[in-house]
Structure formats: structure tokens, C-alpha cells
Amino acid sequence: MEFFERFAIPHPSPAIYASMVAIAVVSIGIVVGLTYFKKWGYLWREWLTTVDHKKIGIMYLISALLMLFRGGADAIMMRAQLATPDAKLLDAQHYNEIFTTHGVVMIMFMAMPFIFAFMNLIVPLQIGARDVAFPRLNALSFWLFFVGAMLFNISFVIGGSPDAGWTSYFPLAGNDFSESVGTNYYMLALQISGIGSLMTGINMCTTILKMRAPGMTLMKMPMFTWSAFIANIIIVFAFPVLTIALLMGTTDRLFGTHFFATTNGGMDMLWANFFWIWGHPEVYILILPAFGIYSEIISTFSRRNLYGYKSMVASMVLISLLSFLVWTHHFFTMGQGALTNSIFSITTMAIAVPTGVKIFNWLFTMWKGKIRFTVPMLYSVAFIPLFTIGGVTGVMLAMSAADYQYHNTMFLVAHFHNTIIPGVVFAMLAGLTYYWPKFFGFMLNEKIGKSTFWLLTVGFVLAFFPMYITGLDGQARRMYTYSEATGFGPLNMVSFVGAALMAIGFVTIVYNVYYSYKNSPRNIGSDPWDARSLEWATHTPVPEYNFARIPQISSSETFWDSKKNGHQLFKGELKEIHMPNNSGVPFIMGVIFFIAGFSFVFALWVPAVIALIGILVCLALRSFEQDHGRHISVEEIKETEAKIGGAK
């Protein structure tokens, strides 16, 4: 019995027991359902072993939406607790756990898979490729992310959630002050999914550099591909820092090293330093693909080519460099001197310049355009002013002397939500609506989509703008309650109302998917938005080989050229297509990684070592495996093409 005590929750509550029951019921339900409908084989063949970038993208998408609701539940609990002074809904410990998991889930397990979903779905189509450069590595990336997310999510029912904040600063995150295994979960789950992200970064860079269709020079790539390229370069350079920092943190917690301890030559501030050397570029990893999606949408629905293509590219390249030069602005108050703070203040303000260039480019794209206010366009139009407000408050925070006033107040919380929600979340929802017909064969309902948009926008403004005021008045972040005398009560209630509106908004998305699945027409053709770039040139639904013939590229809007200027996209005869084989190894490796991670969390060395050996065995097997892929014959291609809308 003593063995099992370690798995107990150190700080249980009825809500957690209810979650345990719910998780058990849902898991049993899934297993029973799959068995009853005889779907195990289908699941294994079509999804678990797939190496198709489109299916992997869809799995990323589903995971991201699930995690959005997980993180959203955390958010609504926090806002409910803070809605009134001296509330008793959550105690301090639960509040700590909830803001920690909210941050980690939303950044690592919602926003990251969301951008990976779009990179997987769109990039190969936009560059006229048949898959990514390393399809099996791509599957492994997904499964590592997925088991990382699952490992993190079981923490609140087995052993206790991390409670040291999503930044997990030492010495608070050390064994002395975080005794539960929660922070072990943090270290291991982020490590596993971080390895997956790093592999995606290498995979996408290679894909974009090496697999573009003939005629597509770098400066003829569609803007989303450019943004994905830059984001992946940042991933390749930033994530190793996180990997090492997490490794050092793990050894501190599990093996008694003193990297981040305050004694024996350790340096606790080194963690904050490493964390933000990764963490600031991470912000741009998220926002750049979002900018790319906005660029595609704004140009499509303004019926104009993107204004200032070259300056867009140049500003992203500049951002990718500057993003590595600003990390200290996350801890201006840590105690370094005025010289350092001044240097990093200036670099931080400098980043506003290329970002401003992009804002003006979008405005000029819309200028004199024939704007259609569809749902994706609404998100994009709302993004520009809202994100600009977030950017301006960012410049306020960038002034290191003034930052002493705002540091770790609600003003900061308002600022980064003000950039991430209109910046990233709106982009993801806009992209979801925009690309939905390409991958699912029907449009999402516009009317419901518009009410979602208004609920989210109004909810967002109500939820976060009051925080600017309470923050300036001195309400600290991460405080689980406040007294009535502070006067923060009414504005926090407004925030709660806003958060509730946003929650309703997210539920309407689910309803929209259900409603549109039932009611939307299926004969929408392959180009329902009258779009401009190459991903719309192939059929809907996209065949597994993407393009029967590899397209010939003339410009960054080559599909528009083919529609309006008579450019011939597909030339020549059909040829045999070489495709990669499916493989179960990535999924199995994912499972082994999960076992390894779980064993490390609880310091169960025997299964941990066995699992690590299992990983090495998988790697060795892959090295000796002979797999040359398979070929799709010309007859098969003709058959498929005829079935899904005739050969073009």
C-alpha cells in the first residue's frame, strides 16, 4: 500500500474527485465505443500509424481544441474565484495549480499544436509538395507532443499538479518549496513535447528549403509558408535552450544537483535567464504563423495582392533575430544593473518597428480593396486594432524604469493576453474557419461563426481591459484573493462576465461544427473563398498525394494567376507517384516515452530504465529498417482524380 501512496493527490477537493470519475468514465466509454463499433482497426490503420501530413495536421487540430477547453476551464475557474473579494471558491493551493496549468496548457499544448496543425495542413500544399521532408519524423513529433500533453494532464488526478507558475522559477520550483511531484510533471511533459517541437522545426525547415515546386523561388513563397519558415528557424535555435534548462531542472529535482539552487555554487536566477532565452523567441514562434494566416486571409478577402511582400519578409527576418535579443525584459526587477536594463529596453522597443511595418502592410492591403466581411476576415479586421493596443502596452512595459511599477501586476496579464488572444487565438479561429472546407469538405456556418466572433471579441474586451486598470491600481497577478477595501471587486466582476462570454463563444464553435456537419452543402468545389495561393488549386477533399501533377509556379499567387491571367498550373502527363509507407513505430515510441516520463516523475527507476532502453531499441530498429515507400500507379491516380472531380 505504501507504494501507491505516492500517486495520491496531496491536496484533494471534490472537483478533483469528480474529474477522476469523469476521466475514468470517458476512457472506458472510448474503449467500449471503439470495440462496439469495431473501429480499432480503422483507428490504427488510418490515424495512429499515419504519416500523411494532412491527417497529422487534423490530429494536431483536435488535440489543440481539446486543450483549449482544458485551459479555458482553468481560466473560468480563476476568473470566478477573483470575481468577488474574499471569495472561497478555490483555496490558495488550488489557485496556484490552476494558473500554472492554465499557462502551460494554453502555450505549450494549445497554441503550439494549433500552429503545428496549420503548418502541417497548409505548408506542403502551398509549396506544391506531396508530403513533408521526413513524414515518419513528423508522425513521431505529433506523438511526442501528444503524450507530453497527456502526461501533463494526468498530473491533477495522479500525484498533484505543478504549482510554481508556468514559468516555474527556481528556487520556488525546487524540492524545498515544491514538494509534490507536480513540478516533475512540468519538467518531463515539457521535455517530451519540446523534443517533438524541435523535430518539427527541423522537418519544416527542410521541407520548405528542399521541396518547393519548380519555379517557386524563396521570394515566390506564399506568406504563410514564409512565416512558418521563420517560426521554424526560431524553433530550431530556441528549443535546445529549453531542453537543457529542463534537463538541469530535472536533475536538480530528481538527482540532487545544484544548478538552480541558492547554495553550493548554484544560481537560481540562471533558470529565469534560460527560461526566457527560450521563452521570448517562443512568443514569436506563436505569433509569426498567426501573422502568416492573417496575411493570407486579408489578401483573399480584400481581393488584392498582399501589400509590401518584400517588407513583410524582411520584417519577419528582422523579428527572428531581434526575438533573441530581448529576453531580459521579462525580469527587469531581478536585480541586474541599469546598463543591462537599458540595453534590453531599447532592443525590445526596436521589435515594435518591424511589427508596425506589418500592421501598415495589412492596412494598405485592405486600402481600396473589395472587402468581404466573412468570419475569417472579421477576426483579421478585429485583430489589427486590438493587437496594436497590446503592442502599445508592450512598449509601456518595455521601459525598464516604468516596469518596476507594472511588474507582475494585472497590467502585465492584460498585456500578454491582449497580444496572444487577438494575435494568436483569433488567427487560429480565423484559420480554422478559412481552411475548414479544404479539409472537411463543407463550410462552417457563417451566421453562427459571426455570433462566435462577437461573443469572443466583446468577451475579450470585457475580460482583459479592466485588468489594465486594476493592474495600475496595484492588483498583483497570481494572488488568489483580495480584500474588499482594495476596490478591485467591481472591475474583476466585469472580467468574469467577459470570461463567461468567451466561454459561451467557444461552446458556439463546437455547436457550429455540429450544425454545419448536419446542414452545410457538400458541393462547394475546391475553391469556395475565391482564394489566391496554391493550397486551393488541388481538389477538395485533398487526395493523399496532394497534386496529381506537380504545379508550375509563376508568382507568390500562382493560383490567382492561373484563374485570371491564364497561367497554366499543371503541365505534362501523369506519372507514378512515390509515397511513404505508414508506420506504427512513432506511436509505439510515443507510448514508451509516456512510460519513461511517468516513471521519471515518480522516480521509479526500473521502468524508467526499461523505457529508455525501449526508445533506443526503436531508434536502432529504424536505422536498420529498409523501407523504400510505395508507388501509386497512373491508373490509380486517374481513378482517384475522376472520383473526386475529374483530372484538371
Please select the residue that binds another protein; options are 209, 363, 402, 613, rule is CB under 8 A.
209
DSSP 8-state class, residue 640: H
Pick the closer one to another protein by CB: 8 or 338. Answer: 338
The least distance separating another protein from the CB of residue 217, rounded to whole angstroms, comes to 13
Name the CA dihedral angle for 53, 59, 65, 67, rounded to a multiple of 10 degrees. Answer: -120
The residue written with cell numbers 474565484 in the block is: 81
Binders of another protein among residues 111 to 170 (CB under 8 A) are none
Q: For the beta carbon of residue 565, count every other beta carbon within 10 angstroms.
A: 11
Stretches 318-326, 493-501, 587-595, 618-626: which one binds another protein (CB under 8 A)? 318-326
Q: For the beta carbon of residue 401, count every other beta carbon within 10 angstroms.
A: 11
Residue 507 identity:
V
How far is 326 from 169, CA to CA, in rounded Å? 19
Please select the residue that binds another protein; options are 92, 244, 321, 621, rule is CB under 8 A.
321
Pick the closer one to another protein by CB: 331 or 435. Answer: 331
Please select the residue that binds another protein; options are 44, 47, 324, 416, rule is CB under 8 A.
324
Kindly determine how many residues on this chain lie close enough to bind another protein according to the rule CB under 8 A: 21
3-state secondary structure of 351: helix
Stretches 153-161, 184-192, 326-334, 358-366: which one binds another protein (CB under 8 A)? 326-334
Residue 311 identity:
S
Per-position x/- string for 223-262, each x denoting binding to another protein as judged by CB under 8 A, each - no binding = ----------x---x---x---------------------
The least distance separating another protein from the CB of residue 329, rounded to whole angstroms, comes to 11
All cell numbers assigned to 151: 502526461
How far is 83 from 473, CA to CA, in rounded Å? 17
Pick the closer one to another protein by CB: 317 or 591. Answer: 317
Pick the closer one to another protein by CB: 24 or 321. Answer: 321
How far is 639 from 560, CA to CA, in rounded Å? 27
With 0-12 / 13-18 / 19 or more C-beta atoms within 10 angstroms meaning exposed / middle / buried, residue 263 is exposed
The least distance separating another protein from the CB of residue 240, rounded to whole angstroms, comes to 10
The least distance separating another protein from the CB of residue 337, rounded to whole angstroms, comes to 4
Stretches 106-114, 338-346, 483-491, 629-637: which one binds another protein (CB under 8 A)? 338-346
Stretches 152-160, 267-275, 466-474, 561-569: which one binds another protein (CB under 8 A)? 267-275
Per-position x/- string for 270-289, each x denoting binding to another protein as judged by CB under 8 A, each - no binding = x--x---x------------
All cell numbers assigned to 106: 494554453
The residue written with cell numbers 487577438 in the block is: 422
Please select the residue that binds another protein; options are 89, 269, 349, 476, rule is CB under 8 A.
269
Pick the closer one to another protein by CB: 331 or 362. Answer: 331
CB 472 within 8 A of CB 406: yes
Q: Taking CB under 8 A as the rule, does residue 322 contact another protein?
A: no
The least distance separating another protein from the CB of residue 246, rounded to whole angstroms, comes to 16
Q: Taking CB under 8 A as the rule, does residue 485 contact another protein?
A: no
The residue written with cell numbers 462496439 in the block is: 36
Q: Taking CB under 8 A as the rule, does residue 328 contact another protein?
A: yes
Please select the residue that binds another protein; options are 256, 335, 521, 566, rule is CB under 8 A.
335
Nearest of 361, 393, 504 to residue 72 by alpha carbon: 504
How far is 504 from 506, CA to CA, in rounded Å? 5
Pick the closer one to another protein by CB: 77 or 241. Answer: 241
The least distance separating another protein from the CB of residue 361, rounded to whole angstroms, comes to 24
How far is 293 from 382, CA to CA, in rounded Å? 14
Please select the residue that binds another protein; options are 202, 267, 591, 634, rule is CB under 8 A.
267
Stretches 34-42, 336-344, 433-441, 456-464: which one binds another protein (CB under 8 A)? 336-344
All cell numbers assigned to 518: 448536419
Please select the residue that binds another protein; options are 1, 339, 485, 606, rule is CB under 8 A.
339
How far is 8 from 23, CA to CA, in rounded Å? 16
3-state secondary structure of 484: helix
Stretches 179-187, 323-331, 433-441, 446-454: which one binds another protein (CB under 8 A)? 323-331
Binders of another protein among residues 421 to 480 (CB under 8 A) are none
CB 438 within 8 A of CB 518: no
The least distance separating another protein from the CB of residue 233, rounded to whole angstroms, comes to 8
All cell numbers assigned to 383: 485583430
Please select the residue that binds another protein; options are 14, 256, 337, 572, rule is CB under 8 A.
337
Please select the residue that binds another protein; options are 336, 388, 405, 451, rule is CB under 8 A.
336
The least distance separating another protein from the CB of residue 335, rounded to whole angstroms, comes to 6
The least distance separating another protein from the CB of residue 318, rounded to whole angstroms, comes to 13
Stretches 86-94, 333-341, 416-424, 607-615: which one binds another protein (CB under 8 A)? 333-341
Nearest of 278, 279, 350, 289 to residue 319 by alpha carbon: 350
The least distance separating another protein from the CB of residue 226, rounded to whole angstroms, comes to 15
Give me the numbers of helices (H) and strands (E) for the chain, helices first please.
22, 2
In angstroms, the Cα distances linking 189 to 284, 342, 593, 625 are 22, 35, 10, 29
Residue 368 identity:
K
Nearest of 186, 143, 175, 152 to residue 71 by alpha carbon: 152
The least distance separating another protein from the CB of residue 400, rounded to whole angstroms, comes to 12
Q: For the beta carbon of residue 10, count every other beta carbon within 10 angstroms.
A: 13
The residue written with cell numbers 507530453 in the block is: 148
The residue written with cell numbers 529576453 in the block is: 327
CB 74 within 8 A of CB 502: no
The least distance separating another protein from the CB of residue 303, rounded to whole angstroms, comes to 35
The least distance separating another protein from the CB of residue 273, rounded to whole angstroms, comes to 5
The residue written with cell numbers 509590401 in the block is: 308
The least distance separating another protein from the CB of residue 241, rounded to whole angstroms, comes to 7
The residue written with cell numbers 498525394 in the block is: 545
What is the secondary structure of 136-187 as a DSSP string? HHHHHHHHHHHHHHHHHHGGGTTT----STTTT-TTTTSTTT--STHHHHHH
The least distance separating another protein from the CB of residue 285, rounded to whole angstroms, comes to 14
The least distance separating another protein from the CB of residue 227, rounded to whole angstroms, comes to 17
Please select the residue that binds another protein; options are 27, 340, 483, 568, rule is CB under 8 A.
340
All cell numbers assigned to 51: 504519416
Query: Which residues sit at the interface with another protein, rule CB under 8 A?
Result: 209, 233, 237, 241, 267, 269-270, 273, 277, 321, 324-325, 327-328, 334-337, 339-340, 343
